[in-house]
Structure 1
């Protein structure tokens, strides 16, 4: 009974620690329950407290809660019934509202306040301790860090100049004062683990501003020779720990590093940070539509409307929804619009951060909520990286970078083929590499393969490594919003004179032709023009950063303005400096980060130029990554003279392989629906003994029928058949099953009843394949593997005709999403006499009207583009680019976001040999058998 329960709690916790809680939500039967609770409190002399059981902030939140209830229960509002809340009383009420509701029980309010006063809990110090690094005897963490840094300096620098020594001493002293030596040692230890296990690793971000990080081998950038500002990384006034991001090859190699961190610090001493996944356009629209009981067809239109990159809209939501076929007059339109705005951006579920790990001295579970991840061997904290930073919990970012995986794989292929190469020994200043960049031939190249980068490369014309650094940094929101891009390109082309805000800034801005492009330049501008210290300049950057507050921003801007005025800076110069800094700081790019990325950009470009077979094989093996699909990568490889051989069960491996300097063989990794473990099984069988026929392959490969069909459809079985349909015919043949094994035929099988087991139909000699089949069961047997009858019909010719070329291309895309045959556009070129090929657009007259067409391989709507959309169309000769105005995009949104092939008519804009089509009309390109790859979309 309630009385027994109350007495039990009193005995356990003491009368002064037990309270009776009542709530008033004006529900039927609530008063009766509350009277019982009041009597219970009186009988046991317990304090009565009043609460409201808050579930949402505002009364309107009740409707949102009801929608979430429908989502959770997989129902809709028309059927939810008693699952829904009865009123909106569970919102966060004011003190006055609560006192009015409980005016007959004032002591309940007083007791609630007293209880709140007793609950003194703060998140300021939750007991977190960063792990101590185990140092050799006779050392402290400070002294050991100094020792290995000075040793590293001897390896990194030809001679340790006074400038280098002073920089190292200043950094080491600050690190020791702030108590961060252990952090640097732990990151150094992780880097050493990677190097000892032959894994590429490279620090990036502001850590590359540190000479200590450079000497520890964490970062590849010398901040002294590059004149980088250490305070951008670490300064005396910094709150919180430094942030060192480590780039690692994505996939298994990075997972190995993550598991090593778990091993060192224990399952409860390390965890991945979480990502809070929120409701975005498509998910919000679909879930609300389900709750409002919209038809499946309407929900599908919602998906199409908000699909592909969640492109921001420039028209009212009601007009957008009308595009999905829901008229404004629909009775549920107002509810949909209101709920959409209320739910958009709210948390949906927790995911894993891409690489953020937190570690501690003791058990994280003592103060951080942990949960097991869906991935084996991983534990995830239920807080995101910002939560952890706010609470002083140290995060180490172990980020997977697809291009590092590509480059490491390519280097290993080079070594296997007797032509070893690594990142440190790639020749600097290679003419062929820069020529490739200057012509924007950069599909697959790290950081400079996007449409915007390709449009800039022919104008910038990189001639040295620092030009690549600028190219990496210039196509960023900061330089674009700060109006830095066009002035820089104009000055580089000699169309505009190089000028400076103030002659005092020439040493800072000379390398970038008077145009500030990097965060470090912004810091130095403040230091020179306002006499700011390095700490003050970094405080300025942080105040104006992405998470800036208006109050903090105004305060530091006033300080900057006044300091420049005291330094006798002209008023018009002050305004230019302020405009540059405030617009640029929001998304500015650190020069150190750009240098780190430029090293990989140049390295990947060199591989493409000089080791194309290794480069393209590794690039395909590491998909998905980058801007382009495998289909586009294969076409680009062929345009560069690399022969791409099709998948073949007699020659292919799981990964793509290099056959010669100019030839690669596609691997089974590109085959949709083929399980890795099944492929590994038959590859082991093939290694033991090559397959002699299709029948032999079927018996030993242990594949499902669908997997066999896929291989036949794409031509992978042509080594055992005249053509694809002949292979498909043989795959569909059903061998006689071993009826003897089922005890139904007795001795009436294909062989005499007294035949030896090795020769009896269905009882094949026990190879590893048949043993695996016996274990694996009947599903894969049915495909023709394992205990198949030896008396199956043999050598029956196929009555099916060969596939036509369009049919083969279509089958390739169906099974692999790519083709080694001709581009689909080549097959329909004769039907499109008015359409320009991509390769011919350079000859089109400026401002003339042309029509282009192709497979949509990229749609992009950057936040800096003011609503304009960029579309890349691929044909058999290359890629053409179109720009779509916001109005035209809204008129043709579903067409643009859903059609795989488009024809676009528009005006030619040719600037410095960079051709762009300004779209005026957009049509779907529909031809029989026209198939292509999916688009990669960005925003």
Structure 2
């Protein structure tokens, strides 16, 4: 009897989930129910999936509205009708146009107009599929309305939006958030009626007892509706069924492509390869995944034609077929990748292929997929209300001042100390928290289906312009839609741009480089030594302080070691305590046999009996707990968290424990193993995934080893990496580059390398307008370099403000004229308005101005660079008020082992973390006076006393310690050092004098030799 029900996917309107709606219906003896979220179908598929559990027949529809104004409700008679509703809704969502007041003539869907709308309009005739909805509140007016005569067109339309008063209050707050207004000023027309509740079916029938024909009409409408989606374990995939015209053509093509790939991938052949290939092909055909492989092959083939770099990873990297089709570059035979992680007969969904492209190329690849295949859309996801965001939104709605909102969002309060309004913010914040806030796009998921995607959902059109379904990947898999992951990363762009720089500047070298020659890279001692010594700044996935520390502790100097490290670094392994245990077993022969469970060691001998990869979960569950491969895969998927709350995951967990007990395992061992599985929490990698990352790491390490400056320029031009741009500039200098500030005649928008001369790009000048940059580069390209400031001003339209930025950064230094004189000249030639563009019939005549001799100091230049670029190009140690009292650096740590050291460092990055007891501690990476990196740790007692206060130079006194040969400093005392006052805003003579005295002191100290170390006073 309920034709108009909302969930919280009626965004910023509804107040509970689709499952709670089903529970509510069951509690009120409702057996048929229509889900009609407002301009949204996000909950539809899961509503249909869960309805049988509540003995409810699900029916789908849409509540069509312009803002809060209800136009009509569409109710699907069947799946075709649901598609019609989705087509209609999507058209208006894509074009962002208002819905018409009269619905179209749907063939397979009903339309219910609200009683109030019909009363206020002239609509007198109704088509067979059109009805008038009457709520309990409308019954008072019905006897006096002309609509009573249309007795065959009246149906019950009692909207359901709330369960209780608390839901209504939450609804009002959501509406205020949506309207961006104070709750006290929220217009009544923006709210639903407080009586939009579900009543027991008997009560509803009683309310309409005088109009039994309305109940009969409603019952007849509901009985004529039926919606079907297959959510069974044996459901067939809904992806595009065939790549070619027929299944047989697909199978022949896949076999042919594999045969063509054999000489390239396995020139020596081998029976093992052929046996594995035959096994895989048979299973791929049996499972109906042939088209899935061919579509991925098509995508990467196009990418290679366009010379796009890509990395194929995910569980698909466990496949020989994927390797032969060049979807991945990981040899599963070499790495003994676990076949059942890739695919098995108990698994309904195909393997994952995560294909990474350069961030510059992904949009073109996505467009290609939309243009090439039918029925394509991006996968959606939901952005939910988070605790801090909710507090801020509700704080504004309740009219709290910013200071109070900031205080509440920090969470440092006692609830009982808050005033009434603040308590309401916290109370309702907890209620709204976790509700969907708005629709977004999955990181890389693309759906390519056999049926039109509107069969499953409406689509909306985010800013990128690609149609996006309104449900997420979990629901997609439930209904048999399996995504293609097309992802973006900057690491590939760095590799690609380095190759482009070599092709442009060093064509002879470029012709010798095969960036895909991974086999040779794996054996290259120069590359492996970079890994062993953790000299990996800028290199994909291996440059972070944590990874650098792990590489040293594991003594990694080969590809297989890097594969393991790529997965061990993940939080799942670290959290379980097994990262440390892995290192201990790796470094201490015999420890694995002593500590590991015999079954675990037998299953995972290559990782010393430690679970490191996702497929280890399948192995352990299958061999240790005697679960079937299908059950083991449910367990593995449950690690992701997306399925952890599912009943099937809980059932498998119970069976895991029960089976182990039957085998006689002690509870201590059972729960220890289970804890290792549970702690993965979706963070562990598949081994093939780690291997794919390691391949890209080797490519970037090769470029860093042999073309370091070109590679570092590419790193900078693609947004850096783990660190800020300043430290990649520093690294380039350490690798031999001479770094120059932007130059009018040498610089581009991005960084440019000339031999060993690195010219920073105009992009670092944060206040320089893009259009000015474009004019300069275009003019220089068309008519050559600029000869002088006057020549520049004759050729470029520019304001005095923009010109001042270029002069201050000394971009005209090629003229040999001091920048202060240039600024005087600029103001003489330009006023403060933008220069008017007009054709120059004759060369302009310039007046000769007499300007006094002016000077610029190095100190002034350093602070100007800091202001305009965000960092200075001299050593920051030269800017200290007091010169460092010693030269201690990274090179000295070994000889100070287990002793105290006094050392200065320029802060690179800080990781703030908490101990198990919730106490704050810090890990910091710094650069010493010689430019080398060192690491420090501040344990809770020290962290409570000393805090890092932003960028700058810090002096440390602490103990040098070693853990698995990785040296760091346990800080005892810390003090931030002061810089000289900016001379542009201070007494120039005083600052310059201090600066020169400091330089003389440093010079004298270096001639005298290293001073004795002393603790901070």
Please indicate the TM-score interval, normalised by the length of the shorter structure: 0.7 to 0.9
What aligned pairs does 1:797-808 form with structure 2 within 5 A after superposition? 801-808=854-861
Q: Does 1:606 align with 2:702?
A: yes
Q: Does 1:857 align with 2:947?
A: no
- Tell me how far apart the structure 2 counterparts of residues 247 and 665 of structure 1 sit (CA, whole Å): 30
Q: Does 1:557 align with 2:653?
A: yes
1:366-405 deviation line (CA, Å, top 9, x unaligned): 6542333323x53333333334333333421111121011
- Tell me how far 1:145 sits from its aligned partner: 0.8
What aligned pairs does 1:246-257 form with structure 2 within 5 A after superposition? 246-251=355-360, 253-257=361-365
- Tell me how far apart the structure 2 counterparts of residues 114 and 889 of structure 1 sit (CA, whole Å): 71
- Tell me how far 1:282 sits from its aligned partner: 4.8
- Tell me how far apart the structure 1 counterparts of residues 821 and 916 of structure 2 sit (CA, whole Å): 54
- Tell me how far 1:841 sits from its aligned partner: 5.6
Q: Give the equivalent residue in structure 2 for 1:781.
A: 835
1:149-204 deviation line (CA, Å, top 9, x unaligned): 12212321133333222222222122112222111111101111111121112210
Q: Give the equivalent residue in structure 2 for 1:491.
A: 585
- Tell me how far 1:486 sits from its aligned partner: 0.9
Given that 1:23 and 1:53 are in contact with CA atoms closer than 8 Å, whether structure 2 keeps it comes out as: no
Given that 1:66 and 1:85 are in contact with CA atoms closer than 8 Å, whether structure 2 keeps it comes out as: yes
Q: Which of 458, 472, 483 pairs up with 1:369?
A: 458
- Tell me how far apart the structure 1 counterparts of residues 869 and 476 of structure 2 sit (CA, whole Å): 42
- Tell me how far 1:843 sits from its aligned partner: 5.6
- Tell me how far 1:563 sits from its aligned partner: 4.4
Q: Give the equivalent residue in structure 2 for 1:71.
A: 177
1:565-592 deviation line (CA, Å, top 9, x unaligned): 6667677654544343333364322111
Q: Does 1:21 align with 2:127?
A: no
- Tell me how far 1:534 sits from its aligned partner: 4.0
Given that 1:275 and 1:353 are in contact with CA atoms closer than 8 Å, whether structure 2 keeps it comes out as: yes
Q: Does 1:406 align with 2:494?
A: yes
1:702-737 deviation line (CA, Å, top 9, x unaligned): 345443232223222222352333343334334489
Q: Does 1:161 align with 2:270?
A: yes
What aligned pairs does 1:36-55 form with structure 2 within 5 A after superposition? 36=142, 39-40=145-146, 42-46=148-152, 49-55=155-161
1:751-809 deviation line (CA, Å, top 9, x unaligned): xxxxxxxxxxxxxxxxxxxxxxxxxxxx8535x89769965755646659544434323
Q: 1:13 to 1:336 in 2, by over 3 A?
A: same
- Tell me how far 1:329 sits from its aligned partner: 4.0
Q: Does 1:276 align with 2:371?
A: no
What aligned pairs does 1:545-584 form with structure 2 within 5 A after superposition? 545-547=640-642, 548-549=644-645, 551-564=647-660, 573-584=669-680
Q: Does 1:422 align with 2:517?
A: no
- Tell me how far apart the structure 1 counterparts of residues 193 and 116 of structure 2 sit (CA, whole Å): 28
Q: Does 1:260 align with 2:368?
A: yes
Q: Give the equivalent residue in structure 1 for 2:533.
A: 439
Q: Give the equivalent residue in structure 1 for 2:341.
A: 232
Q: Which of 290, 301, 307 pairs up with 2:396?
A: 290
Counterpart secondary structure, 1:653: coil
Given that 1:479 and 1:584 are in contact with CA atoms closer than 8 Å, whether structure 2 keeps it comes out as: yes
Q: Does 1:714 align with 2:809?
A: yes
Q: Give the equivalent residue in structure 2 for 1:95.
A: 200
- Tell me how far apart the structure 2 counterparts of residues 582 and 809 of structure 1 sit (CA, whole Å): 52
Q: Which of 641, 665, 680 pairs up with 2:736?
A: 641
Given that 2:134 and 2:154 are in contact with CA atoms closer than 8 Å, whether structure 1 keeps it comes out as: yes
- Tell me how far apart the structure 2 counterparts of residues 514 and 362 of structure 1 sit (CA, whole Å): 46
Q: Give the equivalent residue in structure 1 for 2:762.
A: 668
Counterpart secondary structure, 1:581: helix
Q: 1:559 to 1:164 in 2, by over 3 A?
A: farther
Q: 1:149 to 1:19 in 2, by over 3 A?
A: same
What aligned pairs does 1:173-184 form with structure 2 within 5 A after superposition? 173-184=282-293
Counterpart secondary structure, 2:652: helix
More deviation in 695-704 or 214-223? Answer: 695-704
Q: 1:4 to 1:535 in 2, by over 3 A?
A: closer
- Tell me how far 1:891 sits from its aligned partner: 9.5
Q: Give the equivalent residue in structure 1 for 2:446.
A: 357
- Tell me how far 1:682 sits from its aligned partner: 2.6
Counterpart secondary structure, 2:378: strand
- Tell me how far 1:456 sits from its aligned partner: 1.6
- Tell me how far 1:618 sits from its aligned partner: 0.3
- Tell me how far apart the structure 2 counterparts of residues 800 and 369 of structure 1 sit (CA, whole Å): 71
Q: Give the equivalent residue in structure 2 for 1:120.
A: 226
Counterpart secondary structure, 1:60: helix
Given that 2:955 and 2:977 are in contact with CA atoms closer than 8 Å, whether structure 1 keeps it comes out as: no
Q: Give the equivalent residue in structure 2 for 1:694.
A: 789
Q: 1:858 to 1:34 in 2, by over 3 A?
A: farther
Given that 1:69 and 1:83 are in contact with CA atoms closer than 8 Å, whether structure 2 keeps it comes out as: no
Counterpart secondary structure, 1:70: helix
Q: 1:422 to 1:815 in 2, by over 3 A?
A: farther
Given that 2:958 and 2:973 are in contact with CA atoms closer than 8 Å, whether structure 1 keeps it comes out as: no
- Tell me how far apart the structure 2 counterparts of residues 52 and 863 of structure 1 sit (CA, whole Å): 53
Q: TM-score, normalised to structure 2's length? A: 0.74
Q: 1:827 to 1:340 in 2, by over 3 A?
A: farther
Q: 1:700 to 1:856 in 2, by over 3 A?
A: same
- Tell me how far apart the structure 2 counterparts of residues 35 and 673 of structure 1 sit (CA, whole Å): 65
Q: Give the equivalent residue in structure 2 for 1:335.
A: 424
Q: Does 1:592 align with 2:708?
A: no
Where structure 2 has 5 or more consecutive residues not aligned to the other structure, the ranges are 1-114, 984-1017
Counterpart secondary structure, 2:333: coil
- Tell me how far 1:248 sits from its aligned partner: 1.0
Counterpart secondary structure, 1:236: coil
- Tell me how far apart the structure 2 counterparts of residues 906 and 727 of structure 1 sit (CA, whole Å): 47
Q: 1:843 to 1:343 in 2, by over 3 A?
A: farther
Q: 1:711 to 1:439 in 2, by over 3 A?
A: same
Given that 1:490 and 1:496 are in contact with CA atoms closer than 8 Å, whether structure 2 keeps it comes out as: no
Q: Give the equivalent residue in structure 1 for 2:30.
A: none
Q: Give the equivalent residue in structure 1 for 2:866.
A: 813
Q: 1:659 to 1:681 in 2, by over 3 A?
A: same
- Tell me how far apart the structure 1 counterparts of residues 236 and 293 of structure 2 sit (CA, whole Å): 21
What aligned pairs does 1:466-481 form with structure 2 within 5 A after superposition? 466-481=560-575
Q: TM-score, normalised to structure 1's length? A: 0.80
Given that 2:131 and 2:154 are in contact with CA atoms closer than 8 Å, whether structure 1 keeps it comes out as: no
What aligned pairs does 1:737-748 form with structure 2 within 5 A after superposition? none
- Tell me how far apart the structure 1 counterparts of residues 604 and 982 of structure 2 sit (CA, whole Å): 52
Given that 2:634 and 2:649 are in contact with CA atoms closer than 8 Å, whether structure 1 keeps it comes out as: no
- Tell me how far apart the structure 1 counterparts of residues 163 and 494 of structure 2 sit (CA, whole Å): 49
Counterpart secondary structure, 1:72: helix
- Tell me how far apart the structure 2 counterparts of residues 835 and 288 of structure 1 sit (CA, whole Å): 54
Given that 1:899 and 1:924 are in contact with CA atoms closer than 8 Å, whether structure 2 keeps it comes out as: no
What aligned pairs does 1:870-885 form with structure 2 within 5 A after superposition? 870-872=922-924, 874-875=926-927, 877-883=931-937
What aligned pairs does 1:92-241 form with structure 2 within 5 A after superposition? 93=198, 95=200, 99=204, 102=207, 107=212, 115-124=221-230, 130-131=239-240, 135=244, 140-241=249-350
Q: 1:914 to 1:55 in 2, by over 3 A?
A: farther
- Tell me how far apart the structure 2 counterparts of residues 66 and 904 of structure 1 sit (CA, whole Å): 54
Q: Does 1:830 align with 2:882?
A: yes
Given that 2:382 and 2:472 are in contact with CA atoms closer than 8 Å, whether structure 1 keeps it comes out as: yes
Q: 1:410 to 1:4 in 2, by over 3 A?
A: closer
What is the Cα-based RMSD across aligned positions, in Å?
4.1
- Tell me how far 1:328 sits from its aligned partner: 3.7
- Tell me how far 1:494 sits from its aligned partner: 2.4
- Tell me how far 1:430 sits from its aligned partner: 2.8
Given that 2:527 and 2:705 are in contact with CA atoms closer than 8 Å, whether structure 1 keeps it comes out as: yes
- Tell me how far apart the structure 1 counterparts of residues 169 and 200 of structure 2 sit (CA, whole Å): 24
Where structure 1 has 5 or more consecutive residues not aligned to the other structure, the ranges are 25-30, 307-315, 322-326, 738-778, 932-939
Count of matched residue pairs: 853
- Tell me how far apart the structure 1 counterparts of residues 377 and 170 of structure 2 sit (CA, whole Å): 32
